Structure formats: C-alpha cells, structure tokens
Structure 1
Amino acid sequence: MARASDALVAPRVSPPDLPPRLDAADPARGADLLGVALDLDGDVDLAHSSLEQCAISADADSVDLTGATLIDVVVVGARIASLRMRDANVRRVRIDGGRLGTLDLSGARIDELELRGVRIDYLNLGGAKGTDVEIAECGIRTLDMPQAELTRVRFSETRSDEVDPRGLRATHVDLRGLDAGAFLDADSLRGTTLSSFQVQQLAPVLAASIGIRVID
C-alpha cells in the first residue's frame, strides 16, 4: 500500500490573469510590455523582453523569446515555424491550439505552463526546470527532455512518436496519458508514473537494460 507521501500530485495550473482590455503593441528586442496584444508575423525578435498580462497571436516564421520573462501570457491558435524560449522565465503561460514547428524551452525556468491542443514537430525541454506543467490533447512528433528537472507534470490525450528522457529528474510526473511510439532510454523514466499497458510495452527494453535475454 502506497504511503500518503507517495501519492501522485497533479499539476497546479491556473489560467493567465489578463485585463479586460488589451491595447495593441509592436514587438521589440528587450521591450517591457504590460497588458498588450501582439499580432506577430515574419521574423520577430523579442529576446530578453518582459511580457506581463499579454495575449499573442501569430502567423510567423520565427519568434525569439530567448531569455525573456513571460508572466500571465496566453498564445492562441498561433502558427510559428520556430518559437525559441531558451533560458526564459515562464509563469502562468498557456499555449492553446495552433501549430509550432519547434518549441524550444531548453534551459527555461517554468512555473505553471499549459499546452493544450497544440501540434508540435519538436518540443525541447532539455535542461529545463519545470513545475506545474499540463500537456493535453497535443500531437508532438519528437519530445526531448534530457537533463530536465520536472515536478508535477501531467500528460493527457497526447501522442508523441519519440521521447528522449535521458537524464530526466522526475517528481510527480504522470506519463499515463502520453501515447509514445518509443522511449529512447527507459532507465531515465525513474520517478515517473506509467500505466500497466505502458510498462508491458517497455518490458523488452527494461529487461535488456538489466541484462535479461527474452527468447520465445
């Protein structure tokens, strides 16, 4: 019987807090934006910017938010070939619908992030420190999480062709709702929660990792 302290804890994700009216604004590198709506296209440089209580729509080739701070931000129906959020500070951010070629969150510090109904070719969480993350109804071709530190993360109704969890440090990470075609390193799933069906699928990989030969 599991101890109470071992019980799986769900992510604590709240919607972004937006004002009733948002004024339109233009993006700029290093900008300090509060309570605005951004409609992005082409190649957009918002690196090292501060965005608070903002709404983003986009049909863009690239959006660079490297090193940016995002607090209470919603992104709805965006189509972006490359969304770079490396080393960003993310708090109460929701990406709802749309299509992203690359979503690069490597090295990011995340506190409350929701991805819902998004199609993503490549999601990179390498080296990220994420707490309270909800990923629901998404299609992710490749999901990379090497050396990530994730706490209270849940996948639901999400599909990924390939998952790389090498070096993952997981606490209360619920993978039961992640239909993965392949996990590149089953040993790195320590600390995650899987369904019995997922464990059955991983059985040959787990056996090989501890030196067991399985021959029918």
Structure 2
Amino acid sequence: MARTPESPVPPRITAPDLPPVLEPATPARSGDLIAARLDLTGTVDLAYATLEQCVVSADAESVDLTGATVIDVDMSGARIASLRMRDAGVRRLRISGGRIGTLDLSEARISELDLRDVRIDYLNLGAAKVTDLEISGCAIRTIDMPQAELTRVRFTATSSDEVDPRGMRAKDLDLRGLDAMAYLDAHSLRGATLTSFQVQQLAPAIAAGIGIQVRD
C-alpha cells in the first residue's frame, strides 16, 4: 500500500466509554449485556452476544466470544487460557495486564484495540481486518497475521518469538517497537516500518527469498 510522507501514522486509540454505574450481570450466549460488570470463571459461552460499555474481570479456562459484538469494553488483569473472538466485531476494547494463553481474533473486524502489559502465548489475527491497534509492553510468544489487513498498527516495547505475516496487507504498520526473534516471511512485511537494525537482522531472509547467496 502507498505511504504518505507522515507514515507511519499512529493508531487512533481512545479509552472505552464507560458509564459511572455498572450492574453485575450473568454471561449468556447471544445475550445483550449493556453497562454491566462481568466476573468470568470456568468455561464461559458468550458467543454472538453483545457487550457494550462493560468492565470484565476473568479467571477462566475458556471464554467464547465468537461472532460477538464488543463495544467500549475494559478487561483488566484477566487470566484466561483461551479467549476466542473469531469473527467478532470489536470497537474500543482495552485489555491490560494479566495472562492469556490463546487470543483468537481471526476474521474479526477490529477498530480501536488497545493491548497493554499482557502476556500472550498465541495471538491469532489471521484474516482479520484491523484499524487502530496499539500493542504496548506485551510479551507474545507467537503472532499469526496471515491474510490480515492492518491499518494504523503500532508495537511498543513488545517481544515475540515468532511472527507469521504471510499474505498480510499493511498500511502504517509500525514494527519498530517489536523485538521479534523470527519472521516466517520477510517479503510479506511490505507496508511496514522497521529500524535499520531490524532490517539488518532480516537481510539474510530477504536475500534467500530473492535467490542471493551470501558467503564470506
């Protein structure tokens, strides 16, 4: 995608719009949860539910938000083995602190997602359409982004063992704050911004991909 002289443009992130009073609520599949406080434990089925202006805490094995609508939600200090948000619609979601085993956002439609100081084993953004994503102070073992469409995405003080960007399309993707040990396909980083040191690290993979032998 074409760059502008100001690129990379930073993500446009605002805090979730939360009401002054929240009522405790019980999670339910396909439920409408508005201005609610949710305390999730065990195995939770919220597939195709609507969460709007909610605060969520969790110490859970599995939370299923497949196909859900998530608007103005704050999740802090959660410990979740599997958080499934496949095909969800997300707008102004903040996840801060805590530990998540698998965060599955594949095929999701995302606008304004803020991940801060979270430990994640596996982050799946495969085929997601993402606009305005900030990932700051996170440790993410594996990041999968195949076929994702990313606009205004920035990593800051974040580390990862492995990143899979195959087939990714990006505009204003700022990877300068991502300390990644390996990229599975350096050629798929078109549209990203990296530091000169990161480019030096990627040089052998880029050379091999275009058929250049490097021998000293």
**Superposition pairs for residues 15-164 of structure 1, below 5 Å?**
15-164=15-164
Other structure's SS at 2:202 match? helix
Other structure's SS at 1:150 match? strand
Higher RCO by CA contacts (8 Å cutoff, separation 6 or greater): 2
Amino acid at match of 1:77: G
Other structure's SS at 1:127 match? coil
Amino acid at match of 2:131: T
Establish whether residue 201 from structure 1 lines up as the match of residue 192 from structure 2: no
Q: Structure 1 residue 7: deviation in Å?
A: 2.6
Counting aligned pairs with the same residue, the percent is 71
Question: Structure 1 length as normaliser, TM-score?
Answer: 0.98
Q: Distance in 2 between matches of 1:103 and 1:4?
A: 32
Amino acid at match of 1:184: L
Q: Structure 1 residue 77: deviation in Å?
A: 0.2
CA RMSD of aligned residues (A): 0.9
Q: Distance in 1 between matches of 2:86 and 2:8?
A: 29
Amino acid at match of 2:187: D
Amino acid at match of 2:130: G
Other structure's SS at 1:33 match? strand
Q: Structure 1 residue 21: deviation in Å?
A: 1.2
Amino acid at match of 2:113: L
Other structure's SS at 2:166 match? coil
Other structure's SS at 1:208 match? helix
Other structure's SS at 1:203 match? helix
Other structure's SS at 1:142 match? strand
Q: Distance in 1 between matches of 2:66 and 2:72?
A: 17
Number of corresponding residues = 214
Q: Structure 1 runs of 4+ off > 6 angstroms?
A: none
Question: Structure 2 length as normaliser, TM-score?
Answer: 0.98
Runs of 5+ unmatched residues, structure 1: none
Amino acid at match of 2:198: Q
Runs of 5+ unmatched residues, structure 2: none
Q: Distance in 2 between matches of 1:62 and 1:18?
A: 25
CA offset digits 1:48-94 (Å, max 9, x no partner)? 00000000000000000000000000100000000000000000000
Other structure's SS at 1:57 match? strand
Other structure's SS at 1:176 match? coil
